[in-house]
Chain A
Amino acid sequence: MNRQEQRMLMGNEALGRGLFENGCSLAASYPGTPASEILSSVVTFSREAELPIHIEWSINEKAAYEVALAHSYTGKRAAVAMKQVGLNVAADPFTRSAYLGVKGGFIVISADDPGPYSSQTEQDSRLFAHFAKIPVFDPSSPREAKEMIKKAFELSERYEIPVMVRPTTRVCHARQNVTCKKPRLLERRARFEKNPSRWAATPQFIYDLHKLLNEKMDKIAEEHVLSPIPYASLPSRNKRCVIASGVAFAHTYELLEEMGLLDRLDLFQVLLPFPLNRRFIDMIQSDYEQVLVVEETYPVIELQLEKGKIQGRKSGFVPRQGELTPDCIHDVLERFLGSASQTHPARVAQPGKRPSLCPGCPHRPAFFAIKKTFPKGIFPSDIGCYTLGMNLGAVDTCHCMGACISQGAGFYHSYAQDGGNIPPIVVTIGDSTFFHSGIPGLINAVVQDARFIIAILDNSSTAMTGHQPAPHLGIKADGTPAPAVSIPDIVTACGVRFLRQCDPYDVPAFRSLLEEADQYCRSEQGGVAVIISKHSCPVDKKAIGPEQLYTMEIGETCDGCQLCLKQFECPALVAPEADSRAKGRVRIDFHTQGGGYLSSEHGEREGVAPAASPREGATRAPLIDQALCVKCGVCKHVCPKGAIAVKEETKA
Chain B
Amino acid sequence: MKQQIIVSGTGGQGILFLTRFFAEAAMMMKLQVLTSEIHGMAMRGGTVVSHVKVGTFKSPLVREGHADAGLILNKQNLPLHRSLIRPDGYVFVNTDTPGDYSSIDASGLALGAGAPAMTNLVLLGFAMQRGGFFCEADVARKVLKKLSPPAHLELNLKGFDMGFASS
Point out residues on A near B: beta carbons under 8 Å: 6, 8, 10, 33-34, 36, 117-118, 140-141, 170-171, 173-177, 247, 250-251, 253-255, 325-327, 330, 347, 350-358, 385, 387-388, 464-465, 571, 580-581, 584-585, 598-600, 603-605, 627
Contacts and interface: CB of A to CB of B under 8 A. Distances in A.
Nearest to B58: A250
B11 A355 contact: yes
Contacts of B35: 174-176
A249 to B, nearest CB: 8
23 contacts: A8-B24, A10-B37, A33-B39, A117-B42, A118-B40, A118-B41, A141-B60, A170-B61, A173-B38, A174-B35, A175-B34, A177-B23, A247-B60, A250-B59, A250-B60, A347-B83, A354-B46, A355-B11, A355-B44, A356-B45, A358-B44, A605-B108, A605-B111
Contacts of A581: 96, 107-108
Interface string B33-59: 111111111111111000000000111
B57 to A, nearest CB: 6
Contacts of A347: 64, 83
Interface in B93-115: 95-97, 107-108, 111-114
Chain A contact residues: over half helix, strand or loop, or mixed?
Answer: loop
A176 B34 contact: yes
Contacts of B79: 350
Given A253-B58, A580-B95, A8 B44 contact: no
A580 B75 contact: yes
Given A175-B19, A603-B112, A385 B33 contact: no
A353 B42 CA distance: 9
Contacts of B39: 33-34, 36, 118, 173
Closest 6 interchain pairs by CB? A352-B47, A118-B40, A355-B46, A33-B40, A627-B116, A174-B60
Contacts of B95: 580
Given A173-B39, A464-B41, A580 B96 contact: yes
B32 A177 contact: yes
Nearest to A359: B45
A309 B113 CA distance: 65
B41 A603 contact: no
Contact of A585 (B34, B60, B108, B114): B108
Nearest to B34: A176
B62 to A, nearest CB: 8
Contact of B58 (A6, A140, A327): A140
Given A175-B23, A355-B46, A603-B114, A254 B40 contact: no
Contacts of B58: 140-141, 250-251, 253-254
A118 to B, nearest CB: 3
A463 to B, nearest CB: 9
B3 interface: no
B77 interface: yes
Given A8-B23, A175-B19, A603-B111, A385 B44 contact: yes
A175 B40 contact: no
B45 A254 contact: no
B20 A141 contact: no
A176 B38 contact: no
B44 A352 contact: no
Contacts of B113: 603
Q: Which of A117, A355, A388 lies at the interface centre, i.e. has the most chain B CB atoms within 10 A of its CB?
A: A355
Contacts of A350: 79-80
B37 A173 contact: yes
Nearest to A142: B34
Contacts of B166: none
Nearest to B79: A350
The interface centre, meaning the residue of A177, A251, A255 with most chain B CB atoms within 10 A of its CB, is: A177
